Amino acid sequence: MEISADPLCTRELVGILAVPLSHTSRAKGDVELEEERVLTDWRETARCKEMDPDLFFPVGTTGPALLQIEAAKAVCRQCNVRENCLGYALDSNQEYGIWGGTTEEERRYMRRELTSRIAH
C-alpha cells in the first residue's frame, strides 16, 4: 500500500481509490486516532455548518438549480476547510451534493482522472 508523504493526508491508496486510514485493517495507534479526531474536527469550523443543508443539495443541474449550485460554491470558496471537505467527499464517495466546492459531476471527473493516471 502506498501512503502519501503529505502529513495532513489521511488516505492510503488501495487499488484505484483512496481509503481513509480509519477504514484500513491495521490496528489503530495514537497517531491514527489523532488523525481520525482531526478529520472530524474540520466539520466544526466549516462555513456551511450553520446554513440550510438544502442549499448544498440542489435538485437537478439546469435552470434554477444552477443558481443554487453557484450559491453553494460561493459559500465553499470562503471556507477555510474546503480541502478537508473535498477530501472527505472523495474518500467516502459522496455521490450527491456540493462538497468542497465541487458538484457530483466534478467529483466523478476527478475520480476518472485519478483512475486514468493510476492505470497509465
The rounded average pLDDT for each run of 10 residues, N- to C-terminus, in the chain (120 residues) is 40 39 50 63 92 96 95 97 95 95 96 85
Tell me the domain boundaries of the chain. Answer: 2-119
Q: Which amino acid does the sequence have at 76?
A: C
Q: Are 72 and 58 in contact (CB under 8 A)?
A: yes
Look up residue 35 and give its amino acid. E
The model carries a pTM of 0.65
Residue given cell 438544502 in the structure block? 54
Q: Residue 118: what pLDDT?
A: 87
CB 98 within 8 A of CB 76: yes
Please check whether residue 80 is in contact with residue 100, taking contact to mean a CB–CB distance below 8 angstroms.
no
Q: How far apart are CA 45 and CA 53, in angstroms?
A: 15
| Among 67, 66, 74, 70, residue whose Cα is nearest residue 48 | 74
Residue 25: predicted pLDDT: 42
The strands making up 2-3's β-sheet, listed across from edge to edge, are 2-3, 11-14, 17-20
Q: Report CA-CA distances (Å) from 2 to 13, 90, 115.
A: 5, 17, 15
CA-CA distance, 58 to 93, in Å (whole number)? 18
